Amino acid sequence: MAVELEDADRALLDGEHGEAAALAMRLVVKMAGVAQAPRLRDVTQAHIDSCLYHGQAGLDFAERLLAGGATVSVPATLNVSSLDLLHPDLVRLDDDTRDRAKRLMNAYVQMGCRPTWTCAPYQLPDRPGFGEHVAWAESNAIMFANSVLGARTNRYGDFIDICAAITGRVPDSGLHTDDGRRATLLLRLNGIPDALLEHDLMYAVLGYLLGRRAGSDVTAVEGLPSDTSEDRLKAIGAAAASSGAVALFHAIGVTPEASDVGAVLASGPREEEVTLADLRAARDELSRVPHGAEIGAVSVGTPHASETELRRLADLVGADRPRVPFYVNTGRAQLAGVGSVAADLSDAGVTVVTDTCTYITPVMHEIRGPVMTDSGKWAWYAPSNLGFEVALGSLEECVRSAATCRVVRDESVWGS
Amino acid sequence: MEGRILVEGHARGPALVLEEPLSFWGGLDPATGEIVEANHPQRGSVVTGTILVMPSGRGSSSSATVLAEAIRAGTAPAGIVLGEPDDIIVIGALVAEVLYSVRVPVLLTVPETLATVRDGDEIELT
- pLDDT, residue A416, reads 73
Q: Does the beta carbon of A160 lie under 8 angstroms from any beta carbon of chain B?
A: yes
Q: Is the pTM of this model over 0.90?
A: yes
| pLDDT tens, residue by residue, A137-159 | 999 999 999 999 999 999 999 99
Determine the residue of chain A that is closest to B25 in CA distance. Answer: A54
Please, what's the b/e burial string for A170-195 (b: 16 or more CB within 10 A of its CB; e: otherwise)? bbbbbbbeeebbbbbbbbebeebeee
> Does residue A2 form part of some domain?
no
- pLDDT, residue A43, reads 98
Q: Does the beta carbon of A215 lie under 8 angstroms from any beta carbon of chain B?
A: yes
pLDDT at A122 over 80: yes
pLDDT at A194 over 90: yes
- pLDDT, residue A365, reads 87
Per the structure, the count of domains in chain A is: 3
Tell whether A102 and A232 lie within a shared domain: no
Per the structure, the count of domains in chain B is: 1
- Total CB pairs under 8 A between chain A and B: 133
For residue A42, the domain's CATH number is: 3.30.499
Among the three residues A176, A199, A228, which one is the final residue of a domain in this structure? Answer: A176
Determine the residue of chain A that is closest to B64 in CA distance. Answer: A158
Beta-carbon separation of A160 and B87 below 8 A: yes
- pLDDT, residue A1, reads 65
Chain A residue numbers touching B99 (CB-CB < 8 A)? 57, 60-61, 64
- pLDDT, residue B111, reads 85
| pLDDT tens, residue by residue, A211-270 | 999 999 999 999 999 999 999 999 999 999 999 999 999 999 999 999 999 999 999 999
Tell whether A298 and A323 lie within a shared domain: yes
Q: Does the beta carbon of B78 lie under 8 angstroms from any beta carbon of chain A?
A: no
Tell whether A293 and A389 lie within a shared domain: yes
**Long-range contacts of residues A99-107, Cβ cutoff 8 Å, at least 24 apart:** A100/A53, A100/A56, A100/A59, A101/A53, A103/A59, A103/A63, A104/A50, A104/A51, A104/A52, A104/A53, A104/A58, A104/A59, A104/A62, A105/A51, A105/A78, A105/A81, A107/A59, A107/A62, A107/A63, A107/A65, A107/A66
- pLDDT, residue A177, reads 98
Orientation of helix A19-35 relative to helix A160-167, angle to 10°: 110
> Does residue A89 form part of some domain?
yes
| pLDDT tens, residue by residue, A169-191 | 999 999 999 999 999 999 999 99
Q: Which residues of B are catalytic?
A: 60
For residue A397, the domain's CATH number is: 3.30.499.10
Tell whether A76 and A138 lie within a shared domain: yes
Tell whether A48 and A141 lie within a shared domain: yes
> Does residue A354 form part of some domain?
yes
- pLDDT, residue B39, reads 86
> Does residue A343 form part of some domain?
yes
The number of beta carbons lying within 10 Å of the beta carbon of residue B12 is 13
ipTM: 0.96
Determine the residue of chain B that is closest to A33 in CA distance. Answer: B6
Closest CA to A169 of A365, A35, A342, A51: A35
| pLDDT tens, residue by residue, B106-124 | 999 998 899 999 999 999 9
The boundaries of the domain holding residue A263 are 182-283
pLDDT at B103 over 90: yes
pLDDT at A6 over 70: yes
For residue B120, the domain's CATH number is: 3.50.30.10
Q: Does the beta carbon of A405 lie under 8 angstroms from any beta carbon of chain B?
A: no
Beta-carbon separation of A57 and B71 below 8 A: yes
The boundaries of the domain holding residue B15 are 4-125
Which segment of A83-87, A93-97, A365-369, B13-17 scores lowest on mean pLDDT?
Answer: A365-369
Tell whether A273 and A304 lie within a shared domain: no
Picking from A65, A384, A390 by the largest number of B CB atoms within 10 A of its own CB, the best residue to mutate is A384
> Does residue A1 form part of some domain?
no
Higher pLDDT, B112 or B71: B71
Beta-carbon separation of B99 and A154 below 8 A: no
Beta-carbon separation of A139 and B90 below 8 A: no
Q: Does the beta carbon of A385 lie under 8 angstroms from any beta carbon of chain B?
A: yes
Q: Does the beta carbon of A146 lie under 8 angstroms from any beta carbon of chain B?
A: no
**Long-range contacts of residues B31-34, Cβ cutoff 8 Å, at least 24 apart:** B31/B73, B31/B75, B32/B75, B33/B70, B33/B75, B33/B76
